Structures are given as structure tokens and as C-alpha cells.
Amino acid sequence: MAQERPEDRYDWLYGSDGGRGEPAPTRQQPAASRRRGDDLPPPNLPPPGGGRTERGRDRSGGGRRRGKARWVLLLLVAWLVFLVGTPLYAYSTSTKVPFEPEGDRPGEQPGTTFLLVGSDSRAGLSAQEQRELATGGDGGGRGRTDTIMLLHTGAGPSTLVSIPRDSMVQVPGYGTTKINAAYAYGGPALLTQTIEQNTGIRVDDYVEIGFGGLVKVVDALGGVEICPKEAIKDRDSGLNVKAGCQEADGRTALAYSRNRHSYATQDIQRVQSQREVIAGIASKAASPWTVVNPVRYWGVSTGAASAVQIGEGTGPYALLKFALGLRSAMGDGGQSCTVPLADFSVRWDPERSKQLFDLIAADRTGSIGRLCTPDGLPPKS
């Protein structure tokens, strides 16, 4: 019996090599199984399944954010184009009329003075609409001016001055007559010439609105606020309102602007009501809700364009200045008044009215002070 060698006791583990000291190939442990970590991917390779690294996900998230930012930017640009393009389009559709008179005129003056006219024209109104608005027929003529206002903007406070339509003045070529007759005789040009010769103020731009136009603008704004001090029911104008502040639609606002028979002072009170309606229009038109509401913004812009006539040469920038000046004049920082009057017969006070006109012509509206009163009469001491 052969003697067992000590190393033979470990043949079960290492196998027999025939005395060469090398493990048998079939019993050798594979190298791969001895290095357990060799079957894992290197740490810098993507995980199984083709997933993205955190950095890849960050890049994708950043791309989505940039995509959203681009959409927001495009929407803002589109909105700005709409805000700017709408009034420009509306301006292109508005009616332009000649208003600058021939002959001698006051020289160039600082600031800008607009002549705002509300005519009793029924143009564009059907017979039924004339009955509903209680305007009556226009008799086929040019019509007269129910509203005459001068708006001055410049270095000082914006100032809006009402000129009662029954004011007796010199109308070139027609002698002394009511100022609103100038429009009937010679249209915007003769009215402008009459204003300039009687005030010494140069008219730079012209804006006119008729009965139907006023109704359209007010309705497009969703109504304006009026605050009659007493209940009024007037058959001639069709006005029927309660006392106190209330929303007025276009029909009511027109009647409120035209009514005079319900007042003891008639034309003096009427011009104050007209400024009240103008203030309501300016406030609503400049409100943020009008700007951010695309339907109202479009309706107001296009409605105003179809409702008004503007002077030839009165450009979009001038109209923007007009709108801002009107709002300012009717606000806390502006001035709104009636031309200084001597008495309730709407005769101009020769001294006080000249002082007011001279200050406007010189663009010194900050010095007007007590010359500017709601009814045109001297302030009570």
C-alpha cells in the first residue's frame, strides 16, 4: 500500500497534477467568478436600459423651460402688436376733414390745443334710431354744434374749457351771432376761424363726434357713470334718470349731454353735464380693464374710429396726446371749466375771458387759478 503524501490530502481541492503542482484544468475556478466586480459596468457608463444621466435630465428640463419662455415671449410680442396695431388700424379707417382756415391765423404757440366738437349731426342714424334717441330729423343741413370745447396740453396742467353753444361772438362774414352757427355756415374751418379770432388761441388739431358716434363709444365701453343731483325726465332729449350716481348707456349719456330744458341755467348746466360724460368716457377708456380685455379694446378703438371725424394732419400720436390730455384734464391734476361768463345769459366776461385765453395761448395753464370755474361765473368770495 502506497504511503499517502501530505499534499495528497488536498487533492480534493486542488486536484491531481501528476506531481507537477498545477491544478487540474477541470477543477480550476474561472477567473471571472473570482473577481465579482468585473461583471459590473464602469461607473461612467449609462445604466442598463439606456436611461439618461442626471445631467442629461437637467439638459432636457432646461430645454423645456426655454421652450416655454419662447412661447411666453411670442405671446407678449403678439399682444404688443395687437395693442399698437389696433389703434393704428382704427386710425386708418377714420374720416379726415379739413379744419384749418385760410387767411390770417394766430402764430405758432407752445403746447397743443385741440378743438373738440360734438355736432348734432344725425349722419348714420336711421329714422327709427333718430326716434329712439329723440334726436329729431336733421333737416338735411350741415347741423350745428351742441358741444364746443378747447383742450390744451403742455407744460402746465391739462385744461379743458367748455364754450356754451349760445355764446354771442363775431363769426367771420356773418356778423355777431351764436357761436354754434359758425359750423352750420362753414363747417369745421369756419368754426376754427371763429374760435381763433375770438380767443387768440391757435387750434392745432380737431376732433368731432356726432350723436350716433357718442352712443357707439359709450356702449362699446359698457356705459359711463353720471351723477345727476336730482331726478330728471325731459321729453325733448328723452332723458329719464333718477338722482344720484348711476351707469348710463349710450342712449342715456347722449340725452344727458343734450338736456337743457330741465335746468334753470340751461346752457350753463348743459356744458357741465357734457364734461361729466366726457370724464366718464376718458376714465373708462383709460382703465386697465379696457386695455387687457381684447374684445373691449378692439370695440372701443374701432367704434371710436367710426364715430369721430378728425382734422386733416391730426396723426395717431396727436390722438394719443388728446386722449391722455383729456383724461388728465378731468382728473385730479387737471382743470375743467367753462369760459368765464358775465352772467347767466352766457355773455363772455371780457376781462376774465381774455386773461384765461392769454394764459392758454402762452402755455401758462398753471396760473389760471380762479379763472377756471365749473359754470364760468366768478367764484364766490
CATH number, domain of 265, equals: 3.40.630.190
Reduced to 3 states (helix: H, G, I; strand: E, B; else coil), residue 53 is coil
Per DSSP (E only), the strands in the chain are: 95-97, 112-119, 145-153, 159-162, 168-171, 175-178, 205-209, 224-226, 232-234, 239-241, 246-248, 308-311, 335-338
In a domain, 256, yes or no: yes
Domain extent, residue 182, equals: 95-371
In a domain, 354, yes or no: yes
Report CA Rg, the chain: 41
Per-residue pLDDT of the chain (381 residues; tens, 9 = 90+): 555 565 555 555 555 554 455 555 545 555 444 455 555 555 565 555 554 545 545 555 667 778 788 888 888 888 888 888 888 888 888 889 999 998 899 999 999 999 999 876 555 555 665 565 555 555 445 567 888 999 999 999 999 999 998 899 999 999 999 999 999 999 999 999 999 999 999 999 999 987 777 888 888 888 999 998 889 888 888 889 999 999 999 899 988 888 876 775 677 888 888 888 888 888 887 777 777 888 888 887 877 777 788 999 888 889 889 988 988 998 888 999 999 999 888 899 999 999 999 999 999 999 999 999 998 988 876
By CB atoms closer than 10 A (0-12, 13-18, 19+), residue 103 is: exposed
In a domain, 88, yes or no: no
Sign, Cα dihedral of 261, 262, 263, 269: negative
In a domain, 359, yes or no: yes
In a domain, 29, yes or no: no
In a domain, 32, yes or no: no
In a domain, 305, yes or no: yes
The number of domains in the chain is 1
By CB atoms closer than 10 A (0-12, 13-18, 19+), residue 35 is: exposed
In a domain, 20, yes or no: no
